[in-house]
Structures are given as structure tokens and as C-alpha cells.
Amino acid sequence: MPILEHLWIIPLLPLLGSALNGLLGWKWPNKTVHSVALAATGLSFACALEAVREFVANGQQLFRKEFFDWIVAGNFRAGFDLQFDQLTVVMVLVVTGVGFLIHIYSTGYMAHEEGYFRFFSYLNLFMFFMLILVLAANYTLLFVGWEGVGLCSYLLIGFYFLKKSATNAGKKAFIVNRIGDFGFMLGMFLLFRTFHTLDFTALFAQAGPLPGEAMGQFGTLTVACILLFVGATGKSAQLPLYVWLPDAMEGPTPVSALIHAATMVTAGVYVVARSHILFTHAPTAMYVVAIVGCATAFFAATIGLVQSDIKKVLAYSTVSQLGYMFLGCGVGAFSAGIFHLMTHAFFKALLFLAAGSVIHAMGGEQDMWHMGGLASKIKVTFWCMLFGTIAIAGFFPFAAFFSKDAILFAAFNHEPGGKALYAVGLLAAVLTSFYMFRLIWLTFFGQKRYDEHHVHVHESPLNMTIPLMILAALSLTGGWFALPALVGGKDYFSEFLSPVLGSGEIAGIENAHNLELTLSGVAMLAAVVGLIVAWRMYAKDVKRGKSEGLHKLLYNKYYVDELYQAAIVGPLVWISQNVLWKVVDVGVIDGTVNGIASGTTAVGDRVRQVQSGNTRSYAVWVLIGALLVFGIIFWPIVHPALVGGMR
Amino acid sequence: MVPTNYYVLLSAILFGLGIVAFVFKRNIITIFMAIELMLNAVNLAFVAFSQALGKPDGEVFVLFVIIVAAAEAAVGLGIIILTARNRRSLNVENVNLLKL
């Protein structure tokens, strides 16, 4: 059966798995539950591979099919239309592939947790929505996936719903995302108003020939792009809406790996890349994307430097790396952004899963200051973590070396202000290397800072370590598509994406190849600097120092949460309580309702006096009524006579 | 021949007396008689118009009214007797079960 003709089957399989587990899973043993979930995602991955094979066999033609109408109103049509192009290939393979590995890992990690079926049901549901998001052929359907993954994110962050902090984190993620989604929807409305369609093919065909807007000009396209980007900042945790992602670490670790590192949070990058035709017409919006991305990359990295929770370090690292992706998109190197998205999915999923394995080994401990010296005890986890760390730090020939390098190279050559973006990006790379090796040293080396009588460190089972090893291998090899570019050959990744995203070649640079080599060397140097500094500071036995000055500022995340609390949440709560509740709700709304009720009662009290129950008073009323009728009948006769008589 | 006006005027006067008696009297029997008086005032008007117009319709109506009035008198008197037995009174003020 040609899968490409039946693309719906790829998202449908996880939905089926989710429904089965959600409805029947409560009475199934764990084995059945995860068999269903694994079969659903595994088959989905297999279908995706087959679809890719067919896609390549068809000569990489954009495949697009309208399955059924969803909303038809006037000249607006939102259909269940799916499409398959080079960008989709990358996204679908990442989502189903990494998703499948994380499903396998979860069977080990979640084995002793309550609500096993619930977890897999949500996880499969997430896969469904994520696949809808990347396969959708119009913004409306994309938005369905967009909201759906947000829902699953909420459900999974709050998975341990008995923990107050987990449910709060879930709500925070959901609400912060709403702010972004508001911008996204406004962007969609604006696009529809301008182009009268939200279909990718039709919309980009219309937008393509339009003249680009000038730098600094806020035309329709620029505003639409910035609004879409507001949505992306929410979903992809960029400044200023990144605050939900670190809190999202309350969820189980596989969730952090799948949703909050590898797939969902990259949806914003995907949307920007998908809309790149619009963005290239709006240089101002591009610049905003680049600056926000660059600032986030640096800002989040600085917070990551001092965190003590192993997952928090990785969370801020994720925010920072997402910033890199946006930086890449913002300077026009969309394929580099997507490249980093893919390699990041590998190594960050790896890092999170390895961190999960560490936490598993430590019996739930997440504070790195309570670890130390684990390298010899959990060897597999250690080596996988090390692979991930080397990959993210950007050492040759690991994945991020190529992808981060491509982004920084594009930033360096961007005009105007590219050099500054490059400098900040490079600094963030140093910080990345530093905080990751700090994590390694604090966790795996040095003296034991935990009580050996209470914590029995043990290596994780095979179903957890095998996905780790696969991801470690991918973290090593994931960047090799661009390997030939180093020796003057082609970058196969960006060439593969070029039919969708354009060539991304920067023309008119002399000795581009030499420059790229030089910049690669500089990036390597940055990673080495980070490594050495971390080694100097943490390789020896360290005590947790007192937090003061800059360290305190960073440790408390620049007090951004407190700032938001004071500047936004506080006033909002105050207005809600003192105006909306006590004035509008109690005064106006309740007042109106109660007023109508008491008014009716008062009128009724008067009127019911008429019905006294006294027969004779009824007779009087009948009499009065009769007289009135007589009056009405005879008045026209009597009246002229009276008037005439007076004359 | 007596002009129709006179009949109608007499009828109106009788009807008015009936109403006044109905509203102001308290004795049930009197009220009952007031109703009969009003019925017969209407009958008088019917007959007068019937004669004036030379059509028998009015007289037919009067026969109907008399028949219904007879039935009504039977039921009404029954009610009055029961009321009188139950309450040992013919005062309509005491028949106030429906009162608030």
C-alpha cells in the first residue's frame, strides 16, 4: 500500500494507541499497555520511513493531498490537508524516530509509576498532535497540532498531579503558551485577511512574487511574521515567554526529553522555517527573530551556569539551543536552523534520558550537589552522557559542531550587525561548553556527596540504556551530512532542504570556505575554553559555595519569575479581585440578576393584592372591566356629541 | 305600542340594580337573587329587541337563558345549602377559603 497516498495513517496510529490505552489501559497489565504504545509509534515510524522512501522514489516532488473538508465558510476553507516535502521528512523522522526511542526508554523509566497506561496514552496522543503539526498543509490544521501538543504538554507536566508544584508548572506552561498562541492566531487572521487563504501552497505562491518590505518598515507581512513569531516564542520558550520551560521539568524525565527538548519546543522553529517565504519578505521580522534568538541563547546559558538541579541545567540549555535555532532562521539560514533542530533533538533527548537514568540510579535525587563520583558506577549512562555533552559543546566531529557552526557562520556573514550576533552566539557557545562539563564533573566525578547507606546506585535496565546508546550514536553521526562541506564539498543537509527552504548560500563572500574553516576553529576553541574553565573550577573536590553577588542573581534566574509576578501576575490578580470580582461580578452581574429578581418580587407583591380571594371584589373587577369595554365602545359615539354639544 | 327605548332603559335599570346588589349585599341568597335579576334584565332586552326587529331569534335566546338559569338555580341553591350547613351562616364574607 502506498503510504504517501494514505498519509493520515502516520498520525492516526498513535491516536489509536492513545485511545486504546486511554479507554482500556486501566485494566491491562503494564506489558500490554506498553506493547500497544510501542506498536503504535513503531508502526508510525515504519510508515514514515516508507513514506520517505516513496517520496524519494517520486523524485522528491512535493506531495499534497486533501483528505476531507474540515471548515468551509464563505471563501474560507480549512481542510484536513496533509503535505510531505523535504522539511516534513526531517520533522517526521525526528518526531517518530526519537519519539519511538523515548517510548522504549519510558517502559523502563516509568515501570514503577502509578498511571502507567495514562502516561503512554498521553505520550501517544502527543505523537498524534505533533505529527499533525508537521504534516499539516495549512496554518489552521497546523494550529490544531500546535494546540494539541500544548494540551499534552500540560497533561504530562502535571502527570504527578498529586504534587502541587507539578500541577502549577502545568498551568504555568499552558497559560504562558496561551499568550503566544494569541499572537499566533492574530498572525493567522492577518494572513487570511491579506491573502484570503491559509493554505501553505496557495499562500506562499501569492506571497512569493510580492516585493520585500524594507528594513525597519512595519508592513503587513512584517507584522504578520512578528505575530507568528510571538506564537513561536511561547511554544519554543524564547524571551520573554521562556519561563514555563524550566518549570516544565516537573514532568517525568522522558516527557522532558520528548516534548520539552526534542520535538514540541522546536515547533516554533518549524513554523518560522515553514513560513520562511513570508519571513524573507520581512527583514525587520527576521531581525527581530535573530536578536531574540541570540539574546535567548546567551541569557538562558548564563542561568544554566549555576543551576544545581540536573534537569534545570538541561532545561536552560534547551532554551539556549532553541535560541540558536532562531538565530539561524533570523539570519536567513533556515536550513541551518532546521539542521540544529535535528541534531539538538538527538543530543538533547540523549542528555535528558541520560539525566533520567542518573536520577533513576540515584533513587529520585536531582540535585547535582548530592551526586558525584558516579562515573564508575553507571558506566553506560556516563559514556552516553559524555557523548551528549561533547556533542552539545560542539566538538568535532559530533553533531552540534556542524549545525552550530553553520548557524554561527551564517550569523557572521549577516548584514547588518551580524558580527555582534556572532560574538554573542560564540560567547553562548563557551557558556554551553562550561555548564555541560560542569554537569559532568559534578555528577560523575569528584567525591561522593550522597549517603551510600540510603542510595543504592545501580545501572538502568537495558530498555533504558539501549535508546541511550542509539541516541549517542546519532549524536555522533547526526551532523555528518555536512561533513563534506568542511573539505570543500557540499552540505548534503541544506542541499536536501533547498527545494523548500532555498539554498541558504551566502553569495559574494571571498574565500567562504576558508572563512568557514576559521570560524569552525574558533568555535572549537570556544568549546575548549568552556571545558578548561569547567575543569579548573569543578574537577577537584568542590564544596557548594555560598551564593552571592552575580551567582545569586543567576541562581535566582535574574528574578524574572519574581518580576513577572510583581509586574503582571500581581496586578492581574489585584484587578481580578478588586475590580472584576468585587465590582463587576458582585456589583454589576450579580446586581443585575438579583435586581431583576427582587424587582419582580416587589411588583408581584403589589399585583397579587388584586387576587384577594374575595368573590365580590372579583365582581367589582368584572364590573370595572365591563365599564371600560363600554367606555371604549361608546366613547367615539359620545365624544363628538359632547364636542358638538359644546359648540 | 311601547317604544323599544323604554324596555331597554328598564332592562338597564334592572341590570344596574342587580350589579349593585351583587357587589354590596353580603347575604348569599340576596346575591343569588341579584344574579337572577340581571339574567332577567337581559331577557327583557332580548325580548324587546326581538319584538322590535320582528325576528324570533331573541325569544329563542330567552328560552335558552331560562333553561340554563333553572339549572344554575338548582346547582347554586345546592351550594348555598351546603355552605349554610357547613358554616352556619349565609354571610359571603365567611366564605373565604380562596382568600390570601
User: For the segment A230-246, what is each residue's pLDDT rounded down to a tens digit?
Assistant: 999 999 999 889 999 99
**Closest approach of B100 to chain A, Cα-based (Å):** 6
Confidence of residue A356 (pLDDT cuts 50, 70, 90): very high
Cα separation, A183 vs A228, in Å, equals: 6
Spatial neighbors of A358 by CB under 8 A, at least 6 apart, are A310, A371, A374, A378, A381, A385, A443
For the cut 90, the answer to whether the pLDDT of residue A77 exceeds it is no
For the cut 90, the answer to whether the pLDDT of residue A452 exceeds it is no
CA distances (Å), origin A566, targets A426, A538, A556, A576, B92: 33, 36, 15, 15, 77
Cα separation, A578 vs A179, in Å, equals: 23
Angle at A335 between CA A330 and CA A337, to 5 degrees: 50
Cα separation, A146 vs A468, in Å, equals: 28
DSSP A545: P
Cα separation, A265 vs A245, in Å, equals: 9
For the cut 70, the answer to whether the pLDDT of residue B98 exceeds it is no
For the cut 70, the answer to whether the pLDDT of residue A320 exceeds it is yes
DSSP A237: T
Chain B contacts of A623, Cβ < 8 Å? 19, 23
Would you call B19 an interface residue with chain A, using a CB distance cutoff of 8 Å?
yes
Q: List the beta bridge partners of residue A138.
A: A199
Among residues B19, B23, B4, B25, the alpha carbon closest in space to that of B91 is found at B25
Task: Among A614, A620, A622, pick the best mutation site for testing chain B contact (most B Cβ within 10 A).
Answer: A614
Among residues A47, A53, A62, the alpha carbon closest in space to that of A7 is found at A47
For the cut 90, the answer to whether the pLDDT of residue B12 exceeds it is yes
Confidence of residue A471 (pLDDT cuts 50, 70, 90): very high
Q: Other CB atoms closer than 10 Å to residue A57's CB: what's the count?
A: 9
Residue A514, classified by CB atoms within 10 Å of its CB into exposed (0-12), middle (13-18) or buried (19+), is exposed
Q: Outline where A281-367 has alpha helix (H).
A: 283-304, 310-330, 334-361
The percentage of residues in chain A with a pLDDT greater than 70, rounded to a whole number, is: 97
SS3 category, A136? strand
Structure confidence at residue A354 (pLDDT): 93
Instruction: Return the minimum-mean-pLDDT range out of A36-40, A114-118, A261-265, B88-92.
Output: B88-92
Structure confidence at residue A73 (pLDDT): 87
Q: Which amino acid is at A225?
A: C
Structure confidence at residue A478 (pLDDT): 85
Residues of A with CB under 8 A from a CB of B: 608, 611-616, 619-620, 623
DSSP A8: T
CA distances (Å), origin B18, targets A620, B24, B25, B36, B39: 13, 10, 10, 8, 9
For the cut 80, the answer to whether the pLDDT of residue B96 exceeds it is no
Cα separation, B43 vs B41, in Å, equals: 5
Cα separation, A597 vs B73, in Å, equals: 46
For the cut 90, the answer to whether the pLDDT of residue A508 exceeds it is no
Structure confidence at residue B100 (pLDDT): 58
Q: For B92, which of A608, A616, A623 is closest by C-beta distance?
A: A616
Please compute the mean of the pLDDT values over residues A504-529 and round it to a whole number: 76
Instruction: Pick the more confident residue, A56 or A550.
Output: A56
Cell numbers for A620, please give them: 367589582
DSSP H or E stretch at residue A458: none
Which of A60-64, A206-210, A593-597 has maximum average pLDDT? A593-597
Q: Do A613 and B97 touch (CB under 8 A)?
A: yes
CA distances (Å), origin A207, targets A143, A203, A354: 20, 6, 44
Task: Among A607, A608, A616, pick the best mutation site for testing chain B contact (most B Cβ within 10 A).
Answer: A616
Instruction: Supply the DSSP string of A63-86, one letter for each residue.
Output: EEEEEEEEEEETTEEEEEEEEE-H
**Average pLDDT, rounded, for chain A:** 88
User: For the segment A274-303, what is each residue's pLDDT rounded down to a tens digit?
Assistant: 999 999 889 899 999 999 999 999 999 999
For the cut 70, the answer to whether the pLDDT of residue A541 exceeds it is no
For the cut 80, the answer to whether the pLDDT of residue A421 exceeds it is yes
Q: Do B100 and A616 touch (CB under 8 A)?
A: no
Confidence of residue A123 (pLDDT cuts 50, 70, 90): very high
Please compute the mean of the pLDDT values over residues B28-39 and round it to a whole number: 91
For the cut 60, the answer to whether the pLDDT of residue A506 exceeds it is no
Please compute the mean of the pLDDT values over residues A103-119 and round it to a whole number: 90
For the cut 70, the answer to whether the pLDDT of residue A646 exceeds it is no
**Closest approach of B9 to chain A, Cα-based (Å):** 16
Among residues A531, A506, A532, the alpha carbon closest in space to that of A519 is found at A506
Structure confidence at residue A507 (pLDDT): 53
Cell numbers for B49, please give them: 329587541
Q: Do A614 and B97 touch (CB under 8 A)?
A: no
Q: Outline where A362-417 has alpha helix (H).
A: 379-393, 399-412
Confidence of residue A637 (pLDDT cuts 50, 70, 90): confident
CA distances (Å), origin A415, targets A267, A279, A333, A418, A436: 27, 16, 13, 5, 31
**Closest approach of B22 to chain A, Cα-based (Å):** 8
Cα separation, A349 vs A467, in Å, equals: 10
Confidence of residue A647 (pLDDT cuts 50, 70, 90): low
Cα separation, A193 vs A174, in Å, equals: 28
Among residues A104, A107, A112, the alpha carbon closest in space to that of A41 is found at A104
Cα separation, A154 vs A174, in Å, equals: 6
φ, ψ of residue A73 to 5 degrees: the values are -145, 115
pTM as predicted = 0.80
**How far is C-alpha A624 from the chain's CA centre?**
76
Instruction: Return the minimum-mean-pLDDT range out of A146-150, A204-208, A479-483, A590-594.
Output: A479-483
Place of cell 489501559: A25
Q: Other CB atoms closer than 10 Å to residue A560's CB: what's the count?
A: 15
Residue A616, classified by CB atoms within 10 Å of its CB into exposed (0-12), middle (13-18) or buried (19+), is middle
For the cut 90, the answer to whether the pLDDT of residue A150 exceeds it is yes
Among residues A369, A357, A261, A263, the alpha carbon closest in space to that of A314 is found at A261
Structure confidence at residue A510 (pLDDT): 58
Please compute the mean of the pLDDT values over residues A487-496 and round it to a whole number: 77
Cα separation, A354 vs A367, in Å, equals: 15
φ, ψ of residue A540 to 5 degrees: the values are -80, 170
Cell numbers for A146, please give them: 500546535
For the cut 70, the answer to whether the pLDDT of residue B25 exceeds it is yes
Q: Do A615 and B95 touch (CB under 8 A)?
A: yes
Please compute the mean of the pLDDT values over residues A158-180 and round it to a whole number: 91
Q: Do A616 and B23 touch (CB under 8 A)?
A: yes
